[in-house]
Structure 1
């Protein structure tokens, strides 16, 4: 698929989702905006872990960096009297840049780590997030976090488009842009170098690729995508707090990437949809059951975690390549059978070939006995 075709497909997907907001309810539009924010973080994790082979458990911390950067920038611009598109665009750019800088620091520090050591290092970032916000509570708001000043929808749309639909529009455009950029990177030279470093760093170095620089670049790009997701969440929820970016949330992002298909950006879409839809469906189902109050409170939130973990186990056992890999495999099987049946039905019946006559048998002359010496 060429670059222009990929951009055309991305634009068509954005138009379809934006048009969908005129049909779906407002709450579903809010869920769509949330799924797009999650998609940015999961897609960055797909590039880092799926294509780069670097296991990271700190994606939530990078999204938190984007959210807090968005909040601080938006509040500062509001105090300065800035309004209009600048109050929307500048904080998003700052969120991407802030998370990218943090990713650069992490990549330089963890450039020589791999496997469980890298996972433990990145997990420490998420664990340390509440302590950082409490230490700098005068700036970051402590455990309560920060309230974010956001640019509301344009005045021309306030009579026809709801706030949730406008949030979905913004999230869809940003998520589609992130997916298009990551797809071009993975299908280009950087993607080939990243996979080469993942498969064999020594061979990649012999081929002229700098493994350390490639790993750091992967961290920066993945962090920038996560920063966009954090900025979108800050805009959608109008808040940035450490409780929203916990270790559980970071594990959820990784599980969503694995369930959807860690080696495919399309799998990130399935993971983001599942991460938003599954808790809602489970909560709706349990609310319709006549359960005691204590049991309902214990099941609230915990049941979705258990079911998501069960889904992860089933996917790993039955479809190691995730939902996207399973769909691709089924498509190839059904498509191959259909094309084979069409070829067989379209082929004309051939007449039986006449039997070839037997090959003539050539008789070798019998060997003459050797004469004795002296005769």
Structure 2
């Protein structure tokens, strides 16, 4: 960014994704977030040595992975303890702070005033990530020389960036009285799997089942990559509690398909998957999350979810379950045709359903 004072370096930090074009700022638990720190070489007139280092503090929900590159202008620096065009790394695990020190800064860059300095590194969103409107933050500052006489240093204003991950609450229920849509009775012990949508978002990607960890008390989250690769790991079934609700968290914004694999005793599995769309809304000027919502579609009917703007509410996906024989709704004139088609197509039908769980504390 532009410098207000040529002797007072500023820094910016931004998450970005080079592997795809999705908006940076929202990710799933276990995903890798790529960050870029940016500053500029200050005017070092009057100095004979100069301190320049980045410090970046990660919140509890982010684990440092690796530093990919450090550059000044077009020059790529080498990781070493000392020397021209080198940088030194330090990581304070207790404070969760990464420090990147540019070595021999004065001699290396005194003639490079105004050139851009970039540090690119990665972090992983972990199981401790906070959910929804709660941000997982990074805070970066530059420590720099500000007094050529005493050798004193100053610190830039912090640059803060947020990363979000989302959730939704499934609510499994049935109606005792079809004329009273408010008299809902919760259904327990329905089992589900969650899939990412295909490229077009029109169906479940059968090769992209979301690995799930059961955290207990009706709360489930996306597994981290390390958890999913661990010997003996089995993705948990998402199971509705006695109140019919279940929370699924740690998801990137995007399209998913919820599939019921087992219905409660005496009830039918859903005839098709439920399409679940998590939508995040960001302020175009500040990049801050302003709200998120979850729309869901079952059997051709889409329910538009309300926008969530607070840190305690979880979007609900409420879907009715019914008893007795269940066939696709096409009207009475097509009853015989539906029955025959149902028999012929039974082998390729899939099923799913959605319910809801109160937001877990993070």
Pairwise TM-score range, normalised by the shorter structure: under 0.3
Structure with the largest fraction of strand? 2
Structure ID, larger Rg: 1
Structure with the largest fraction of helix? 1
* TM-score, scaled to structure 1: 0.21
The structure showing larger relative contact order (alpha-carbon pairs under 8 Å, at least 6 residues apart) is: 1
